[in-house]
Structure 1
């Protein structure tokens, strides 16, 4: 664990908020903080930044490490990928299992520790960084199904999720053969599939002869295609999430940050649609654009007419404008929403 002793004075009384220091989640996370009015200035090469307008310190960490820091209570809050949280959880369970096999803990203690989880709690889905953790194999190779990879070499940086995936796959195959299904994957037999830990350029592992298949994150899929790979299964569908420790130092501040971030996400998803329409047609218009909760309706000076304001999903706005125009709405305007609160 990182030692923050030299920062004790500046960090005292501040909520520690972990942010990805680089990679695919970094810029979107910073944009989210800006939208939530979390003001800070990060000095060059420093991984700690003090927030100016709130008692918060931002800690810049690798996304893969954030679940560990949050889960162990070293940091109160964090932004990372669901894939990283699930990899961390799988690692914690693997550790408990190993301790049980070594006799350090009893089976009952293992169950109890697994029941307590890894110490991370999901606050909300942040709506960006969507991708898939997939099993990929050479496009022109002999492997057509994940089961074909049992007993083969698998390259990945997600070793715990990969082991869990192939342990379950081996159990499925073994159960089908024996028709008993009485043992649990990874508990009574050694994993036959060889999981090779790689820290980068995982997509090159097959071409270089290091692995027969890989388990890696895929966004558009273009990188995998360029490497001559194709997907044959999805292990996890992931996106960025906000997580907190089980016992944050300031729950009220955690709730405030979550509320602000939720407002930013809503503002990114919706626009404000305003239009004028005859009151007699209002019910029909409300069916076309019901709003996030309900439209705001104001009477106009012209008898029988009303002005309507309604929040509409950005991706639906063109069709909604077409529909409103068709039933006689006039002066239809669309305005961006900079921020919001539920």
Structure 2
């Protein structure tokens, strides 16, 4: 039986559950359920704290798990990233009071407060910088004002919270994070069940990024139309009863849909229809 760790709370939890549900796996009906067996897929789900998931997977107690790349890299487990999942994206930055440091190279001897000491220490070591790393749980943006630290390292979305604390982002991002599927790095190749789970999740990711477009176009314009909708391998082109027209079907990026529809219309295409893709294997 495949044993899978799922985040029990936080920003990773609901998107992970929804993605697994879209991938065809049974998911819990109530938040208090901590273990769930999906007999149809021979899979058992364990709902755990996101920060603990990499530890359980890396120790070989669970086969795979969904957690954040930041949480994976902050720890010292033997888990490794298998598949990025495309949600819960975040960026990790240093921030400080203007004038404290001109660049990261000026951090030597400074105090850096963070909830992710593993990530910060790894980054500093890679740069050859000696600095004191202070671990704090929860919000760290007040650490400078309270005199605990000179610099903070934290997840930055809009930067509004940091600006309210009188801080500014310094330098390039330390890490770009998102939800990831992880497995034990010490094992051999992924098992067939793990590969199947990864394929299903990847199918959900692609289905969310693409739509199916169908349209009719005159034969003389079909090459130009297919250049707009090349599909994955190539579009499907079928003759219509009217010998001067063909029907075309192809996958296109969801975010490009309206632009492509406009350009197809200008080429003379008609009967342009767009439908969602619920699942796929490519």
Q: TM-score, normalised by structure 1?
A: 0.77
Shift, 1:221, TM fit: 2.5
Q: Which residue of 1 aligns with 2:122?
A: 164
Aligned to 2:66: 79
Instruction: Verify the 8 A CA contact 1:125 1:241 in the aligned structure 2.
Output: yes
- Alignment of 1:255 with 2:195, yes or no, is yes
CA offset at residue 316 of structure 1? 0.9
Correspondent of 1:275 among 211, 215, 219: 215
Deviation at 1:61, TM superposition (A): 1.7
Classify 1:168/1:124 alpha carbon distance in 2 versus 1 (closer, same or farther; 3 Å).
closer
Structure 1 segments unaligned to the other structure (5+ residues)? 1-13, 93-117, 172-191
Q: Determine helix, strand or coil for the equivalent of 2:14.
A: helix
* Contact 1:42–1:49, Cα closer than 8 Å, also in 2: no
Matches within 5 A, 1:193-272: 193-233=131-171, 234-246=173-185, 247=187, 251-272=191-212
Equivalent residues of 2:17, 2:27 under 8 A apart: no
Over the aligned positions, Cα root-mean-square deviation in angstroms equals 2.0
User: In the TM superposition, what whole-angstrom CA distance separates every residue of 1:225-264 from its partner, at most 9, and x where no partner exists?
Assistant: 3333221131111111111224389812112211111111
* 1:323/1:77 CA distance change after superposition, 3 Å: same
Structure number having the greater helix percentage: 1
Structure 2 counterpart of 1:324, from 244, 256, 264: 264
Out of 250, 255, 259, the residue aligned to residue 310 of structure 1 is 250
Length, aligned pairs only: 280
Question: For residues 233 and 68 of structure 2, what CA distance do their matches in structure 1 show?
Answer: 30
Cα distance, 1:37 vs structure 2: 1.5
Deviation >4 Å, runs of 4+: none
Deviation at 1:154, TM superposition (A): 0.5
CA separation of 1:48 and 1:248: change in aligned 2, threshold 3 A: farther
Tell me which residue corresponds to 2:102: 144
8 Å CA contact 1:15–1:56 kept in 2: the answer is yes
Aligned partners of 2:95, 2:42: CA distance in 1, in Å?
A: 45
Identify if the C-alpha distance between structure 1 residues 68 and 230 changes in structure 2 by more than 3 Å, giving closer, same or farther.
same
Q: Distance in 2 between matches of 1:169 and 1:258?
A: 35
Show the counterpart of 1:335. 275
Shift of 1:274: 0.8
Which has a greater percent of strand? 2
Q: Secondary structure at the match of 1:276?
A: strand
What is the rounded CA distance, in whole Å, between the counterparts of 1:45 and 1:249 in structure 2?
A: 34
Distance 2:31 2:209 in 1: 33
Matched, 1:40 2:27: yes
Q: Which has the larger radius of gyration?
A: 1
Cα offsets for 1:105-146 (capped at 9, x unmatched): xxxxxxxxxxxxx2x2332111111111111112x4432312
